[in-house]
Amino acid sequence: MIELVSAERCIGCNLCVKVCPTNVFDKTEHEPVIARQSDCQTCFICEAYCPADALYVSPYADEQIAVDEAELAGNGVLGSWRATIGWGPGRTKLAALDKTPFIDRILPARTIRAAGVSDVRTPTTG
Ligand code: SF4
Ligand code: SF4
């Protein structure tokens, strides 16, 4: 659950407001505020997008916890999710390192029938 917007770090870009799928934040003249915390889905998208490492989403999805910004910053937690997935300048995106086979390479091709279309085969690769 979203627990922190750092007023000290926030640059007011409002990306978190835009990307949150459940509209948790409200814009203000300064940093966004957490206006509907219970609507948070703990998806970490806001953390991933925040260019200033100003957000903290706790992994506890169903309960609010008290957090201390100085402690989070001191432990290197702020911005760590964005770093882990390789978002941000000079980083390699996790998706670029992922070697997981595509689903159509590990499942057998199957026949599907679409309305008005004769049998269609799923694409095969490799
Ligand atoms: S994405 Fe980060 S820097 Fe931008 S408004 Fe939200 S908290 Fe502030
Ligand atoms: S973790 Fe997801 S649902 Fe929660 S505030 Fe961030 S973007 Fe919104």
Ligand 1 center–CA 57 separation, angstroms: 13
Stretch 114-126: mean pLDDT: 51
Ligand 1 center–CA 62 separation, angstroms: 23
pLDDT value of residue 112: 59
The pTM score is 0.82
Per-residue pLDDT reduced to its tens digit, 22-33: 999 999 999 999
For residue 5, what is the enclosing H or E element?
A: strand 2-5
Per-residue pLDDT reduced to its tens digit, 10-26: 999 999 999 999 999 99
Helices (H) and strands (E) in the chain, counts: 6, 6
20-40 burial, b at 16+ Cβ within 10 Å, e below that, comes to beeebbeeeeebbebeeeeeb
**Domains of the chain (ranges, CATH numbers):** 2-96 (3.30.70.20)
Ligand 1 neighbours by CB, cut-off 6 Å: 5, 10-16, 31-32, 49-52, 54-55
Give me the residue label for tokens 């910053």.
73
Q: Which of 1, 2, 58 to mutate to test the pocket of ligand 2 (most atoms within 8 A of CB)?
A: 2
User: 99 phi and psi, to 5 degrees?
Assistant: -105, 10
